A and B are shown apart, each in its own frame.
Chain A
Amino acid sequence: DGGITQSPKYLFRKEGQNVTLSCEQNLNHDAMYWYRQDPGQGLRLIYYSQIVNDFQKGDIAEGYSVSREKKESFPLTVTSAQKNPTAFYLCASREQKFSGNTIYFGEGSWLTVV
């Protein structure tokens, strides 16, 4: 089945450690996105990418990094520079068609600092 797969679903990070969240899609979508959601809050854009080997900073990019070496993959690294990384992270992809746009979400990854 086509869709977006995020892994791991739950992740614990120690202070000073970098961690990477995986996002893979088999929908052949060009655009991919990473969002962060804190309890009771909306989705805030971290990074997004329209094509392979190109990506743009979102509103809260500090302390995060991404790569887009393949169309189907858009991993997010939470670096030690991100001082408050505990949150729910969502990956999304988007198909742009003449008749409109369709956005798909992964099931999310919960990151907790221990």
Chain B
Amino acid sequence: QKEVEQNSGPLSVPEGAIASLNCTYSDRGSQSFFWYRQYSGKSPELIMSIYSNGDKEDGRFTAQLNKASQYVSLLIRDSQPSDSATYLCAVVFSGGYNKLIFGAGTRLAVHP
């Protein structure tokens, strides 16, 4: 099992729809989770962080965390063509060394 797994996509949604991105992780002791957006050839940009079970909303973005199922997701409401990018899930693993692991990313395409 990979440490952090994401569907590679591409996930294609029409403009204005909700995009749902999923991520699972292997370390049951993990406490910190992040979603990043990355445009081709650029550094990742932080969208949201989440640390507690449940939902966290920020504008059009909602992160959802379920530690029992080792699952974290990102919902993007009212998707725009400018949201087309690769979305990376990142997890800080337990064990004392702050090991930060990224998933392979999901490519999102929002079409007009």
Within the assembled complex, what's the spacing in Å between the Cα atoms of A102 and B48?
10
Interface status of A45 (Cβ within 8 A of chain B)? yes
- Residue of chain B at shortest CB distance from A105: B43
Main secondary structure of the interface of A (DSSP, over half): strand
Given A103-B90, A107-B43, check contact A35 B102 (CB 8 Å). Answer: yes
Number of A-B contacts (CB under 8 A): 57
By the criterion of a CB under 8 Å from any partner CB, how many residues of chain B are at the interface? 23
The answer to whether A31 and B98 have CB atoms under 8 Å apart is: yes
Binding site for B on A (CB under 8 A): 31, 33, 35, 41-45, 48, 50, 56, 58-59, 88, 90, 92, 94, 96, 100-103, 105-108
Interface status of B44 (Cβ within 8 A of chain A)? yes
* Residues of chain A contacted by B103 (CB below 8 angstroms): 42
Name the contact of A41 in the complex, choosing from B43, B46, B96, B104 (C-beta under 8 A): B104
